[in-house]
Amino acid sequence: MQLPLGIEVPIPTFEQFVFIQVALLTAVAALAVVISRNLFHSALALTLTFFGVAGVYIFLEAEFLAVSQVLVYVGAIAMLIAFAIMLTRSMMFGRTSPLNNQWGKSSLFAFLFFSALLAFARATPWPAASEEIIADEALIGQLGREFVTTYVIAFEVLGLLLLVALVGAVMLARDR
Partner 1 sequence: MVPLSWYLMLAAFLFSCGLYGALARRNAIAMLMGIELMLNAANINLVAFWRHGVGPMEDLTGQAFAVLIIGLAAAEAAVGLALIIAVYRERRTIDVDELDVLAG
Query: What residues from 42 to 101 belong to the interface with partner 1 (CB under 8 A)?
Result: 42-43, 46, 49-50, 53, 56-57, 59-62, 64-65, 68-69, 72-73, 76-77, 80-81, 83-85, 87-88, 90-92, 97-101
Of the candidates 94, 87, 89, 114, the residue with the CA atom closest to the CA atom of residue 38 = 94
For residue 57, give the 3-state DSSP assignment: helix
Residues 99-138 that bind partner 1 (CB under 8 A): 99-103, 106-107, 109-111, 113-114, 117-118, 121-122, 124, 126-131, 133-134
Of the candidates 93, 106, 114, the residue with the CA atom closest to the CA atom of residue 36 = 93
Is residue 30 a contact point for partner 1 (CB under 8 A)?
yes
Is residue 39 a contact point for partner 1 (CB under 8 A)?
yes
Alpha-carbon span 145 to 101, nearest angstrom: 50
Q: Which is nearer to partner 1, 7 or 129 (CB)?
A: 129
Alpha-carbon span 49 to 66, nearest angstrom: 13
